[in-house]
Amino acid sequence: MKKKLGIIFGGKSTEYEISLQSASAVIAGVNEEEYEKVLIGIDREGRWYRYYGDVEKIEKDRWCNETDCVRAVISPDRETHGIVEFFRGQVTTTSLDMALPVLHGKNGEDGTVQGLIELAGIPLIGCDTLCSALCMDKDRAHKLAALAGVSVPASAVFSQIAGTEGDEGSWREAAAEIGYPVFVKPVRAGSSFGVTKVNEEDNLAQAVREAFQHDSEVIIEEAIEGFEVGCAVMGKDKLTVGEVDEIELTHGFFDYTEKYTLKTSRIYVPARISPETAARIKETAQVIYRALGCSGFARVDMFLTPEERIVFNEVNTIPGFTSHSRFPSMMKAAGISFAEVVDRLLKEGAEKE
């Protein structure tokens, strides 16, 4: 009998469109002889639907329509163990054997949806609630990685106080102590939204205010000299590690535009580094993955300095998942095809039942 697999896409997030691309690739990569796909879409306003249409409409953002959609939710009731659909006064339920959220950013990658899935008693594919929340939080993720012996950037965190943006003098003092240039980031956001590289004090206040548009906490962080490297990791007890990749930048930093268009940057897989350095990066990625309690899959991003010091940047618990995204590309370079990556993830989810 086929396993009923819930695939959740979209989401009330600034990364909604990226989710549609990732989910379309995952849906197309599922082995239909083993799994019955139950597609669950969340629109930009946070409304949930069961989707019955073609995958192509998801990719082109034409999925949310009256013909293909029925209002639905994941029920937190463990007896339901799945979704509840509402159509013309009728209520039906569909039990799920497992669920795979393919969501990016807030309200999807931060533990919120993961918590609902776990509350419902549905086996979750990917990182659990606690891990997802920790990895989305740049400050707390760095603190845990540091405790595991991994180098992290110097930083300072500021919170909104009673609806205000706090003490501007404190921002300036922290940035001066860290030393320019610094990065100003929302503590909890994805795809580099609200992130600014600040080279001088005059531009600091505007960068902090921009970051506060995306979160109630802002981190001012040391700019690490060197370049970014990434490592794809899969599994829980026994880990599978992809080849290390390298981001080459012409200028600036790897912001939202560069991540999804590569207008002035380039990604090398495998990275143009020695086998010994690649091995150290892979080992560090596994240390971080375990320290933050990751499972299923995640992409660990780090910096490699000119002195070949490895510095932790962040963990993406649901990285981009099109066939040409960084995570699948790193696995492909290690000899694991996109279809095999999807199959492994689903088999691990089935083992949780």
pLDDT digits (tens, 9 = 90+) for 165-220: 667 888 899 999 999 999 999 998 765 778 999 999 999 999 999 999 888 899 99
**Domain coordinates of the chain in residue numbers?**
3-124, 134-152+225-351, 155-222
Same fold? 134-152+225-351, 155-222: no
Three-state DSSP class for residue 197: strand
Q: Is 3.30.1490.20 the CATH classification of the domain at 155-222?
A: yes
Query: Which CATH superfamily is 134-152+225-351 part of?
Result: ATP-grasp fold, B domain (3.30.470.20)
| pTM of structure | 0.91
Q: Which fold has domain 3-124?
A: Rossmann fold (3.40.50)
Eight-state DSSP code of residue 84: E
> Given a cut of 50, is residue 259 above it in pLDDT?
no
| CA distances in angstroms from 259 to 96, 177, 222, 265, listed in the order given | 34, 30, 21, 9
d(CA 69, CA 199): 48
**Residue in 90, 11, 7, 12 with CA at minimum distance from that of residue 51:** 7
pLDDT computed for residue 254 by the predictor = 47
Average pLDDT, the chain: 92
Query: What percentage of the chain reaches a pLDDT higher than 70?
Result: 92
| pLDDT tens-place string over residues 107-163 | 899 999 999 999 999 999 999 999 999 999 999 999 999 999 999 999 999 988 655
The string of DSSP letters for 3-62 reads EEEEEEEE-SSTTHHHHHHHHHHHHHHS-TTTEEEEEEEE-TTS-EEEE-S-HHHHHTT-
328 — pLDDT class (breaks 50, 70, 90) = very high
